[in-house]
């Protein structure tokens, strides 16, 4: 027990509430963090430590091996890989069903194109509501148990989808599967904040983000061949098998990473062993003992508070939602364009998505290799102090890439240029979307490390709502305007957001500090 009774050198230093070694910018008007080799004050405490004389239970020193950020690198990356694997399967399910709509239409005798499209996009509505519940639950019971329950909820409803007797039941089952499927996407940001310090999150977030971006691309490729050869029901049987295997693997190897929950368990264990009822978690040093009901209410409120009280989060969430909606509008046109314009079979049509996929992969490599380096370079110019806005410069360049694809793809498809031309035209959109998605994602994690799951829930809910509903207007819009002018309209819309990206990059810090957000009341 000697290590458990270690004390901080200064009794006056308050215990940190952030679960990692980040300064929680929700509570500090100046959001900075010093980067090595900048000299650090010897009394600085990133992790709250145990002080049994004061009845405080925390970590056994800054090098405590049980703190998630002190885990061996192999364990950190294994945990991230587990979460990322399901983060790939879930978005895969969102679009894998799309190429099999023809098979579904013939089997269930459905001719309404809007309802058929809705059976695909309804999955994303589950992404809209699920994060609001799962994020606060993870802050009460921990990441592991909530992620596990969400994963199995997603897997179980694949059975319902595969056996659905009619379109109405399929839509309901898809919605429920979406609620479970959003667990990995909602909690992944929290796991990254738990495991990695701020200057290592760029690469980690890049790997984790492969799922939400690559899944919707790989889905139609696989779904096209499955739907053509085996029928639409086998899409869900394959998702059941893949999701079940990965969920079982997570059950075997995953572990808790949320620091307040770990210290809460440690406090209860020490209180029992030492017979002391006065012990309190360092993350709740006053022993307020907030009830789970109140925590849940606060958690449900946090994403809404962020969206409506933080202008910069609102702008970034809106921009991400727009880009995500444009991605799914792309998806609505690809089957008809390559089947009707170029005579592709349903299986070959899925391969047309490789254009966006190649763009995503290129953007991922660029972002993963440059994000943390750019952050550290900008920090060195700022006296070694990190600021979340240092993640945003790439946003402007990426925003300029997005409109290119709509003009290129739209007019080349409209004029029936060789099929390789519109496919190549999708690549800039893929690169640009990764360059938009990643900086916004890492920015919110850096800004709100203690509530990364809740902050990510705000982004996930808003973009999923737009991604679910906006594509429903796609068929009518393109029927009215045609492929050329319909895509040009989307290109002009994307172009209109470029100045906003510039303003946020230049004045983001000023806006954030002028409108601080209290997420604890």
Cβ-contact 262, 256 below 8 angstroms = yes
Structure tokens, 151: 């994963």
d(CA 31, CA 448): 10
Which residues pair with residue 13 across a beta bridge? none
Element (H, E) at 33: strand 33-34
d(CA 138, CA 80): 16
Alpha helices in 196-275, H assignment, sequence order: 201-208, 210-229, 233-253, 259-274
d(CA 290, CA 461): 26
3-state secondary structure of 385: strand
pLDDT (tens digit per residue) in 358-406: 888 888 888 878 877 888 888 888 887 878 888 888 888 888 999 999 9
Please give the average per-residue pLDDT across 428-454, as a whole number: 83
Closest C-alpha to 488, from 406, 396, 409: 406
3-state secondary structure of 59: strand
Structural domains of the chain in order of their starting residue, each with its CATH number: 68-257+293-514 (1.20.1250.20)
Please give the average per-residue pLDDT across 437-452, as a whole number: 81
d(CA 199, CA 404): 32
Cβ-contact 423, 450 below 8 angstroms = no
d(CA 136, CA 41): 34
Q: Which of 59-63, 101-105, 253-257, 429-433 has the lowest mean pLDDT?
A: 101-105
CA distances from 244 to 127, 159, 240 (A): 20, 11, 6
Which residues pair with residue 57 across a beta bridge? 281
Residue 152: per-residue pLDDT: 94
| 56-57 and 33-34 beta bridge pairing | unpaired
**What are the φ and ψ backbone dihedral angles of 385, each rounded to 5 degrees?**
-105, 125
Residue 37: per-residue pLDDT: 40
Please check the confidence at residue 240 and state whether its pLDDT lies above 80.
Answer: yes
Q: Can you state the percent helix, strand and coil of the chain, rounding each to 5?
A: 75, 0, 25
Please give the average per-residue pLDDT across 88-116, as a whole number: 82
CB-based burial label for 109 (10 Å; 0-12, 13-18, 19+): exposed
3-state secondary structure of 209: coil
Residue 253: per-residue pLDDT: 85
Residue 291: per-residue pLDDT: 67
Please check the confidence at residue 15 and state whether its pLDDT lies above 60.
Answer: no
Please check the confidence at residue 428 and state whether its pLDDT lies above 90.
Answer: yes
> What confidence tier does 287 reach under pLDDT thresholds 50, 70, 90?
low
Mean pLDDT of the chain: 80
Residue 21: per-residue pLDDT: 40
Residue 521: per-residue pLDDT: 64
State the residue for tokens 């000697």: 2
d(CA 41, CA 381): 20
């Amino acid at each position: 027990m000697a290590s458990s009774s270690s004390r901080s050198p200064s009794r006056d230093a308050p215990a940190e509430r952030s679960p990692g070694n980040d300064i929680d910018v929700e509570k500090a008007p100046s959001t900075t963090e010093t980067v090595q080799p900048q000299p650090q004050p010897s009394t600085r405490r990133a992790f709250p430590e145990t002080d049994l004389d004061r009845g405080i239970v925390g970590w056994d020193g800054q090098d405590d091996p049980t703190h998630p950020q002190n885990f061996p690198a192999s364990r950190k990356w294994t945990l991230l890989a587990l979460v990322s694997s399901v983060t790939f399967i879930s978005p895969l399910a969102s679009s894998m069903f799309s190429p099999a709509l023809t098979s579904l239409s013939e089997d269930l005798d459905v001719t309404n194109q809007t309802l058929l499209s809705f059976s695909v996009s309804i999955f994303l509505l589950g992404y809209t509501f699920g994060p609001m519940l799962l994020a606060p639950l993870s802050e009460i019971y921990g990441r592991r148990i909530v992620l596990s329950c969400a994963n199995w909820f997603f897997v179980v409803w694949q059975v319902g989808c595969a056996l659905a007797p009619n379109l109405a039941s399929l839509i309901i089952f898809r919605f429920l599967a979406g609620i479970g499927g959003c667990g990995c996407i909602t909690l992944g940001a929290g796991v990254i904040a738990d495991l990695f310090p701020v200057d290592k999150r760029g690469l980690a977030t890049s790997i984790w983000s492969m799922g939400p971006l690559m899944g919707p691309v790989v889905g139609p490729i696989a779904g096209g061949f499955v739907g053509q050869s085996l029928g639409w029901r086998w899409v869900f049987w394959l998702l059941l098998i893949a999701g079940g295997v990965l969920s079982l693997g997570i059950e075997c190897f995953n572990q808790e990473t949320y620091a307040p929950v770990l210290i809460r368990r440690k406090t209860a264990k020490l209180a029992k062993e030492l017979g002391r009822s006065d012990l309190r978690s360092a993350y709740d040093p006053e022993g307020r003992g907030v009830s789970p009901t109140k925590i849940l209410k606060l958690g449900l409120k946090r994403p809404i508070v962020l969206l409506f009280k933080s202008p910069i989060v609102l702008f970034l969430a809106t921009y991400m939602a727009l880009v995500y909606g444009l991605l799914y509008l792309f998806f609505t046109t690809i089957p008809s364009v390559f089947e009707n314009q170029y005579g592709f079979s349903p299986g070959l049509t899925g391969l047309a998505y490789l254009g966006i996929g190649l763009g995503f992969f290129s953007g991922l490599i660029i972002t993963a290799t440059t994000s943390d380096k750019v952050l550290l370079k900008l920090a060195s110019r700022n006296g070694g102090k990190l600021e979340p806005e240092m993640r945003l410069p790439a946003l402007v360049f990426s925003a300029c890439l997005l409109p290119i694809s709509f003009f290129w793809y739209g007019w080349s498809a409209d004029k029936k240029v060789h099929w390789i031309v519109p496919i190549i035209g999708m690549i800039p959109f893929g690169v640009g979307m990764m360059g938009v998605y990643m900086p916004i994602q890492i920015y919110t994690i850096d800004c709100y490390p203690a509530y990364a799951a809740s902050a990510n829930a705000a982004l996930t809910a808003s973009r999923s709502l737009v991604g679910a509903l906006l594509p429903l207007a796609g068929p009518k819009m393109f029927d009215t305007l045609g492929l050329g002018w319909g895509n040009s309209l989307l290109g002009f819309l994307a172009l209109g957001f470029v100045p906003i990206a510039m303003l946020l990059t230049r004045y983001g810090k000023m806006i954030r500090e002028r409108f601080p957000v209290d997420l604890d009341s």
